[in-house]
Amino acid sequence: MELHNIEPVFDENSEVLILGSFPSVKSREQCFFYAHPRNRFWKVIAGLCQAEVPESIGEKKRLLLDNRIALWDVIASCQITGSSDVSISDVRVNDLSVILTHSRVSRIFCNGRKAGELYDKFLYPLTGIKATILPSTSPANAAWSLERLTEAWKTAIRKEK
């Protein structure tokens, strides 16, 4: 059983929540989200926010909070082989109420299909907030270029404002 070891990023001004499925091996090692150098998450967020790509954990947190974005994952613990979403089983979910009751989050986006499926199954019945599933920033989603990903994310997040 693998345990989620990264605290959520949010503050009282957060309006948008982005949820992944479960941290990759690299992210669990570094204790922060999207640490694998080939994952395009931070490039996509920088593109959305018209900012430089953040390098340090502090810069990443500041980019999110300055743009009213909260970040966490659906899963609190699970069985997983490596970083493969396909291998995920025995899921226990995070309690999103810690974010939803202490922020202005009213819109939720899932980074990839697996995060969306798990959110819909386990968390939507509790939150009542419909999530929009965005194309995954994972390097496994090679069919999507960085430019196409950034545009899809921008379009979805702007459309729902």
Cite the active site residues: 39
* 75 within 8 A of 22, measured Cβ to Cβ: yes
Please give the C-alpha separations between residue 73 and each of 17, 18, 76, 133, in angstroms, as whole numbers. 10, 8, 7, 13
Phi first, then psi: give them for residue 130, nearest 5 degrees.
Answer: -70, 135
| Phi-psi label, residue 96: left if phi above 0, alpha if psi -120 to 50, beta otherwise | alpha
Find tokens 């966490």 and name the residue. 72
CA distance 116 to 120: 6
Say whether 139 sits in a helix, a strand or coil: coil
* 90 within 8 A of 23, measured Cβ to Cβ: no
The residue type found at 53 is V
